[in-house]
Structure 1
Amino acid sequence: MKNTYMKKLVVACVATFAFIGLQNSTVEAITESPVVKGDNLLKLGQPYALTIDDIKQVNNRHNEGIYIDEIVQIPDKSKVLGIQSSELEIETPVKELAKPAVSISNQEKDLFARLVEAEAKGESYEGKVAVATVVLNRVDSPHFPDTITAVINQVVGKSYAFSPVQNGEIRKPASNESKRAVEEALTRTDRLNDSIYFYNPEIATDDWIRTREVVKTIGDHVFAK
Structure 2
Amino acid sequence: MKKLIMLLTLAASLLFASPAFAYTVKQGDTMSKIARDHNLSLQELTDANPQVSNLNLIYIGQNINTTKSIRENEPKLAEPMSLSLSDSEIDLLARLVRAEAQTEPLEGKIAVACVVLNRVESPQFPDTIKEVIYAPGQFQPIINGEINKPADEESILAVKAALTDQRQLAPGALFFYNPTIATSRWLDTRVTTMVIGQHVFKK
TM-score (norm: length of structure 2): 0.58
DSSP 3-state at the match of 1:194: coil
1:124 to 105, 112, 137: 105
**Alpha-carbon distance between aligned partners in 2 of 1:209 and 1:113, rounded to the nearest angstrom:** 24
Deviations 1:21-73 (A, max 9, x none): xxxxxxxxxxxxxxxxxxxxxxxxxxxxxxxxxxxxxxxxxxxxxxxxxxxxx
Q: Which runs of 5+ in 1 are unaligned?
A: 1-93
Query: What is the aligned partner in structure 2 of residue 195 from structure 1?
Result: 173
Offset, 1:188: 4.8
Is the Cα contact below 8 Å between 1:133 and 1:185 reproduced in 2? yes
1:204 to 168, 175, 182: 182
Matched, 1:108 2:89: yes
Aligned sequence identity (%): 52
DSSP 3-state at the match of 1:193: coil
Look at both structures and tell me which one has the larger radius of gyration over its CA atoms: 1
Query: What is the aligned partner in structure 2 of residue 177 from structure 1?
Result: 154
Offset, 1:193: 2.5
Q: Which runs of 5+ in 2 are unaligned?
A: 1-37, 42-80
Relative contact order higher in (CA < 8 Å, ≥ 6 apart)? 2
Deviations 1:109-134 (A, max 9, x none): 10110000000011000000000000
Offset, 1:96: 10
Query: What is the aligned partner in structure 2 of residue 161 from structure 1?
Result: 138
Query: What is the aligned partner in structure 1 of residue 193 from structure 2?
Result: 215
- What RMSD over aligned residues (CA atoms) do the two structures have, in Å? 2.1
**Alpha-carbon distance between aligned partners in 2 of 1:193 and 1:224, rounded to the nearest angstrom:** 10
Aligned letter for 1:126?
E
Alignment coverage as a number of residue pairs:
126
Query: What is the aligned partner in structure 2 of residue 138 from structure 1?
Result: 119
**Alpha-carbon distance between aligned partners in 1 of 2:174 and 2:118, rounded to the nearest angstrom:** 6
For residues 44-59 of structure 1, the aligned pairs below 5 Å read none
Runs of 4 or more above 4 Å deviation: 94-97
Offset, 1:207: 2.1
**Alpha-carbon distance between aligned partners in 2 of 1:178 and 1:212, rounded to the nearest angstrom:** 27
**Alpha-carbon distance between aligned partners in 2 of 1:140 and 1:182, rounded to the nearest angstrom:** 16
